[in-house]
Structure 1
């Protein structure tokens, strides 16, 4: 395992992880490359985990210099899924360079992962990335949320499962809030102000089973579709009137951060 340079010394943050396994920080320490951060994403971040939900860990690792500039390149994305103490864990980490490149696109996933309040392990570089996040926001992030909503609505119409329906509402409401305020809020339960009145009840129903179907007392498909169309139009309008810039402004900040972190990394494989 590669030793972390001094400026990426992990800082464990267990606050806010109530209900999640206490061994999550140990997973961060077991990875083949130092993690600049690891956060919880997925249903736990979105505010509607079920009793049988898996734990989605997302983060950034730091490849050693020789695996970036040499002929033998390291993995810029590492994916692993396994079970620990009966809990399914899904881990995805990107190398710092790839993650920063994703931040400079209209990728809402990486912003939500970076800004997740469910922090498993952190570092000074993580804090710098979070500070740079506002400079990565653009009005074009609305396209990410609009596209994801269409995909999840299609899944719902085919499966009738509650999960893709909640994902549909979640991404639309997250996108609307982002376009209006410049704030990334992934937790659906914090976005009820613009939500249909039945949504809290659907969130409660989701807690009983990860792949449960729509409750019998839920609105019919026509009513749900009407609300999805309404929120889609609201997101499109919020995008068109948003004060967010057309392009990210944080490229130089992220470039300097990458260079400092990479040069501070220890040389030699261990």
Structure 2
């Protein structure tokens, strides 16, 4: 099975650097990614792919492999090179060693860390006192780089881990927690309990929009106004419920954000997520710049 998986990767890598005029691609994602890069005057000049088998089974002459793919894209844009990386869980099936199915196992965007009832507001405990801190953007980015593809054992891991990861990055940057033990108040994590804003994408978006003490942010109108360590929130369906968050960890040659994230584990990914399987034409974004004390 490992040889079957290796052959699969070899074909896939070739597609990312194949003739862009090709009408039929073995790996459709390659076409989407190439088109998104072309819109930014960028291109993939080299791809590396590695796979790790998670589960495998054989029944009659059918072979099934659940695997994790790790892609590294060397991207060139206006003479500047940078490396983008992403992880993807996939399921492949073979019949008599011939590939019959290979598809992404899409991450679950709603999970056990979501509140049972829809949160339309948070109790922000808007007191007059100020929790003083200095936001260290470099430390937040360093944390995002260290843990983008793994999980800090000091923290609980969620099935939908994107907001938990961003909260960890913000805390690494010095943001103070507040509101314990009320789950609908402030932004905090303690032992096996946490505020909704710590782990739920929509709740963190509400918190960043409204907090007046401690961790605070201002919404800006466009992504190019963001700095390293700032946050982007995503509403993939455009239904008003935000379901993903990322942290700005770099800028491309045009000064646009590159981001790190969990759930869709990725680093230095272009902020718009147009190459994501979760992307829809209705997607909406919120751009938050963390207020430096």
**TM-score surpassing 0.5?**
no
Q: Which has the higher strand share?
A: 2
Which structure's relative contact order is higher, taking Cα pairs within 8 Å and 6+ residues apart? 1
Q: Which has the higher helix share?
A: 1
- Rg larger in 1 or in 2? 2
| Alignment TM-score, normalising by the size of structure 1 | 0.28
